[in-house]
Amino acid sequence: MKRLIAAAAMLAATAAFADGRFSAADVPMAGIRQPGKVVIRNSGASITAYHFFGNIREALFSLRTSPARLRTTPFGPVLYDSSARLSPRMPAYLSAMFTEAARTHGVDPRLVAAVAARESAFNVHAQSSVGACGLMQLMPATARFLGVGDVFDPRENVLGGARYLRTLLDTFDGDLDLTLAAYNAGPGAVQKYGGVPPYRETQAYVRAVRSSYESAIKR
Protein backbone atom coordinates (compact mmCIF):
# COMPACT_ATOMS: atom_id res chain seq x y z
CA MET A 1 0.00 0.00 0.00
CA LYS A 2 2.93 2.35 0.63
CA ARG A 3 3.66 2.87 -3.06
CA LEU A 4 0.08 2.74 -4.39
CA ILE A 5 -0.65 6.44 -4.51
CA ALA A 6 2.65 7.32 -6.15
CA ALA A 7 2.01 4.71 -8.83
CA ALA A 8 -1.54 5.90 -9.39
CA ALA A 9 -0.49 9.51 -9.72
CA MET A 10 2.14 8.65 -12.30
CA LEU A 11 -0.20 6.58 -14.44
CA ALA A 12 -2.91 9.08 -15.34
CA ALA A 13 -5.53 8.08 -17.85
CA THR A 14 -4.57 10.21 -20.86
CA ALA A 15 -4.90 7.78 -23.75
CA ALA A 16 -8.60 6.96 -23.73
CA PHE A 17 -9.78 10.17 -22.08
CA ALA A 18 -7.31 12.82 -23.14
CA ASP A 19 -9.11 15.78 -21.62
CA GLY A 20 -10.40 13.91 -18.56
CA ARG A 21 -14.06 14.55 -19.46
CA PHE A 22 -16.59 12.28 -21.06
CA SER A 23 -20.31 11.53 -21.10
CA ALA A 24 -22.12 8.89 -19.08
CA ALA A 25 -22.64 7.07 -22.37
CA ASP A 26 -18.89 6.42 -22.49
CA VAL A 27 -18.97 4.28 -19.33
CA PRO A 28 -22.24 2.32 -19.46
CA MET A 29 -20.76 -0.51 -17.36
CA ALA A 30 -19.79 1.71 -14.43
CA GLY A 31 -23.26 1.23 -12.98
CA ILE A 32 -23.19 3.95 -10.30
CA ARG A 33 -24.16 7.47 -11.27
CA GLN A 34 -24.35 9.38 -8.02
CA PRO A 35 -23.01 12.95 -8.26
CA GLY A 36 -19.81 13.53 -6.38
CA LYS A 37 -19.02 9.85 -5.91
CA VAL A 38 -15.84 8.05 -6.85
CA VAL A 39 -16.30 4.77 -8.69
CA ILE A 40 -13.70 2.10 -9.35
CA ARG A 41 -14.32 0.37 -12.68
CA ASN A 42 -12.61 -2.91 -13.52
CA SER A 43 -12.65 -4.21 -17.09
CA GLY A 44 -10.44 -7.21 -16.40
CA ALA A 45 -7.58 -5.44 -18.16
CA SER A 46 -7.48 -2.20 -16.20
CA ILE A 47 -8.52 -0.44 -13.02
CA THR A 48 -9.93 3.05 -13.58
CA ALA A 49 -11.20 5.51 -10.98
CA TYR A 50 -13.87 7.98 -12.08
CA HIS A 51 -15.23 11.00 -10.25
CA PHE A 52 -18.94 11.40 -10.97
CA PHE A 53 -20.60 14.82 -10.86
CA GLY A 54 -23.75 15.48 -12.86
CA ASN A 55 -23.48 13.98 -16.32
CA ILE A 56 -19.73 14.59 -16.48
CA ARG A 57 -17.13 11.99 -15.61
CA GLU A 58 -13.54 12.77 -14.70
CA ALA A 59 -10.93 10.03 -15.02
CA LEU A 60 -8.82 10.23 -11.86
CA PHE A 61 -6.35 7.51 -12.79
CA SER A 62 -6.12 4.30 -14.79
CA LEU A 63 -3.81 1.35 -14.32
CA ARG A 64 -3.59 -1.17 -17.13
CA THR A 65 -2.32 -4.71 -16.96
CA SER A 66 0.12 -6.04 -19.54
CA PRO A 67 -1.19 -9.45 -20.68
CA ALA A 68 1.96 -10.15 -22.69
CA ARG A 69 4.20 -9.73 -19.63
CA LEU A 70 2.00 -10.98 -16.80
CA ARG A 71 1.51 -14.69 -16.30
CA THR A 72 -1.30 -15.38 -13.88
CA THR A 73 -2.09 -18.55 -11.97
CA PRO A 74 -5.66 -18.54 -10.61
CA PHE A 75 -5.78 -19.67 -7.01
CA GLY A 76 -9.29 -21.07 -7.37
CA PRO A 77 -12.93 -20.33 -6.52
CA VAL A 78 -12.24 -20.34 -2.78
CA LEU A 79 -10.96 -16.75 -3.16
CA TYR A 80 -14.51 -15.70 -4.00
CA ASP A 81 -16.26 -17.83 -1.37
CA SER A 82 -17.96 -15.08 0.57
CA SER A 83 -19.91 -17.61 2.67
CA ALA A 84 -16.78 -19.07 4.32
CA ARG A 85 -16.66 -19.03 8.11
CA LEU A 86 -14.02 -17.27 10.16
CA SER A 87 -12.25 -18.77 13.15
CA PRO A 88 -14.43 -18.72 16.28
CA ARG A 89 -11.37 -17.46 18.18
CA MET A 90 -11.61 -14.11 16.41
CA PRO A 91 -13.37 -11.29 18.32
CA ALA A 92 -17.04 -11.16 17.33
CA TYR A 93 -16.97 -7.53 16.22
CA LEU A 94 -14.07 -8.19 13.82
CA SER A 95 -15.65 -11.36 12.50
CA ALA A 96 -18.88 -9.48 11.76
CA MET A 97 -17.07 -6.72 9.85
CA PHE A 98 -14.93 -9.10 7.80
CA THR A 99 -17.95 -11.26 7.00
CA GLU A 100 -20.08 -8.29 5.91
CA ALA A 101 -17.32 -6.83 3.74
CA ALA A 102 -16.60 -10.21 2.15
CA ARG A 103 -20.25 -10.81 1.29
CA THR A 104 -20.66 -7.27 -0.02
CA HIS A 105 -17.74 -7.60 -2.44
CA GLY A 106 -17.71 -11.34 -3.11
CA VAL A 107 -14.40 -12.35 -1.57
CA ASP A 108 -13.37 -14.90 1.06
CA PRO A 109 -13.60 -13.31 4.55
CA ARG A 110 -10.55 -15.37 5.57
CA LEU A 111 -8.51 -13.49 2.97
CA VAL A 112 -9.80 -10.12 4.21
CA ALA A 113 -8.90 -11.15 7.77
CA ALA A 114 -5.43 -12.36 6.72
CA VAL A 115 -4.70 -9.02 5.05
CA ALA A 116 -5.96 -7.05 8.05
CA ALA A 117 -3.86 -9.17 10.42
CA ARG A 118 -0.70 -8.44 8.46
CA GLU A 119 -1.51 -4.79 7.77
CA SER A 120 -2.53 -3.66 11.25
CA ALA A 121 -2.52 -6.64 13.64
CA PHE A 122 -6.25 -5.86 13.98
CA ASN A 123 -5.54 -2.40 15.44
CA VAL A 124 -8.34 -0.09 14.28
CA HIS A 125 -6.22 2.95 15.16
CA ALA A 126 -3.07 1.81 13.35
CA GLN A 127 -1.27 4.43 11.27
CA SER A 128 1.97 3.82 9.41
CA SER A 129 4.85 6.24 9.00
CA VAL A 130 3.71 6.97 5.43
CA GLY A 131 0.07 7.63 6.42
CA ALA A 132 -1.69 4.30 5.79
CA CYS A 133 -4.60 4.06 8.23
CA GLY A 134 -6.89 1.63 10.01
CA LEU A 135 -7.44 -2.10 9.91
CA MET A 136 -6.72 -2.48 6.19
CA GLN A 137 -4.05 0.27 6.18
CA LEU A 138 -5.62 2.42 3.48
CA MET A 139 -3.81 5.52 2.33
CA PRO A 140 -6.13 8.56 2.59
CA ALA A 141 -6.20 9.12 -1.18
CA THR A 142 -6.82 5.41 -1.81
CA ALA A 143 -9.66 5.52 0.69
CA ARG A 144 -11.24 8.41 -1.20
CA PHE A 145 -10.95 6.49 -4.47
CA LEU A 146 -12.77 3.60 -2.79
CA GLY A 147 -15.52 5.81 -1.41
CA VAL A 148 -14.38 5.58 2.23
CA GLY A 149 -15.49 8.71 4.06
CA ASP A 150 -13.79 8.10 7.41
CA VAL A 151 -10.61 6.04 7.06
CA PHE A 152 -10.57 5.37 10.82
CA ASP A 153 -14.12 4.03 10.89
CA PRO A 154 -13.47 0.26 11.18
CA ARG A 155 -16.48 -0.81 9.12
CA GLU A 156 -15.84 1.67 6.30
CA ASN A 157 -12.14 0.81 6.30
CA VAL A 158 -12.76 -2.93 6.00
CA LEU A 159 -15.43 -2.48 3.33
CA GLY A 160 -13.00 -0.33 1.33
CA GLY A 161 -10.17 -2.82 1.73
CA ALA A 162 -12.38 -5.73 0.65
CA ARG A 163 -13.54 -3.78 -2.37
CA TYR A 164 -9.99 -3.08 -3.39
CA LEU A 165 -9.00 -6.73 -2.91
CA ARG A 166 -11.86 -7.81 -5.16
CA THR A 167 -10.85 -5.30 -7.83
CA LEU A 168 -7.27 -6.56 -7.76
CA LEU A 169 -8.36 -10.21 -7.83
CA ASP A 170 -10.45 -9.55 -10.92
CA THR A 171 -7.71 -7.54 -12.58
CA PHE A 172 -5.05 -10.20 -11.99
CA ASP A 173 -7.32 -13.13 -12.94
CA GLY A 174 -7.52 -14.52 -9.42
CA ASP A 175 -3.74 -14.76 -8.99
CA LEU A 176 -3.31 -14.49 -5.23
CA ASP A 177 0.38 -13.55 -5.24
CA LEU A 178 -0.07 -10.73 -7.76
CA THR A 179 -3.14 -9.48 -5.90
CA LEU A 180 -1.29 -9.34 -2.59
CA ALA A 181 1.77 -7.77 -4.20
CA ALA A 182 -0.44 -5.08 -5.77
CA TYR A 183 -2.18 -4.43 -2.44
CA ASN A 184 1.19 -3.87 -0.79
CA ALA A 185 3.30 -2.20 -3.48
CA GLY A 186 0.67 -0.98 -5.95
CA PRO A 187 -0.56 -2.46 -9.24
CA GLY A 188 1.87 -0.21 -11.13
CA ALA A 189 4.83 -1.99 -9.52
CA VAL A 190 3.40 -5.40 -10.45
CA GLN A 191 3.05 -4.25 -14.06
CA LYS A 192 6.51 -2.74 -14.10
CA TYR A 193 8.22 -5.97 -13.02
CA GLY A 194 5.82 -8.38 -14.72
CA GLY A 195 5.06 -10.11 -11.42
CA VAL A 196 5.76 -9.74 -7.71
CA PRO A 197 8.20 -6.79 -7.40
CA PRO A 198 11.72 -7.52 -6.12
CA TYR A 199 11.07 -5.54 -2.95
CA ARG A 200 12.03 -7.45 0.21
CA GLU A 201 9.06 -6.01 2.09
CA THR A 202 6.56 -6.94 -0.63
CA GLN A 203 7.91 -10.47 -1.06
CA ALA A 204 7.74 -11.06 2.70
CA TYR A 205 4.24 -9.60 2.74
CA VAL A 206 3.00 -11.94 0.00
CA ARG A 207 4.47 -15.00 1.72
CA ALA A 208 3.04 -14.07 5.11
CA VAL A 209 -0.51 -13.27 3.99
CA ARG A 210 -0.68 -16.26 1.66
CA SER A 211 0.52 -18.57 4.44
CA SER A 212 -2.02 -17.15 6.90
CA TYR A 213 -4.85 -17.48 4.38
CA GLU A 214 -3.93 -21.04 3.37
CA SER A 215 -3.75 -22.05 7.05
CA ALA A 216 -7.24 -20.62 7.62
CA ILE A 217 -8.59 -22.60 4.66
CA LYS A 218 -7.23 -25.88 6.06
CA ARG A 219 -8.82 -25.43 9.50
Domain spans, the chain: 4-64, 77-218
Would you call 119 a catalytic residue per the annotation? yes
Active-site option among 58, 119, 201, 214: 119
Where does 77-218 sit in CATH, by number? 1.10.530.10
Q: By three-state DSSP, how is residue 32 classified?
A: coil
At residue 142, the pLDDT reads 87
* pLDDT tens digits in sequence order for the chain, 219 residues long: 434 433 333 333 333 333 333 344 444 444 444 445 666 666 656 667 766 655 555 655 566 655 446 889 999 999 999 999 998 888 999 999 999 999 999 999 999 999 999 999 999 999 999 999 999 999 988 898 889 999 999 999 999 999 999 999 999 999 999 999 999 999 989 988 999 999 999 999 999 999 999 999 998
How many angstroms separate the CA atoms of 75 and 208, rounded? 16
Pair 64, 44: CB distance under 8 Å:
no
DSSP type of residue 133 = B
- In angstroms, the CA 136 to CA 172 distance is 20
DSSP code, position 80:
G
**3-state class (DSSP) for residue 127:** strand
Residue type at 164?
A: Y
Q: What is the structure's pLDDT at 59?
A: 58
Confidence (pLDDT) at 54: 54
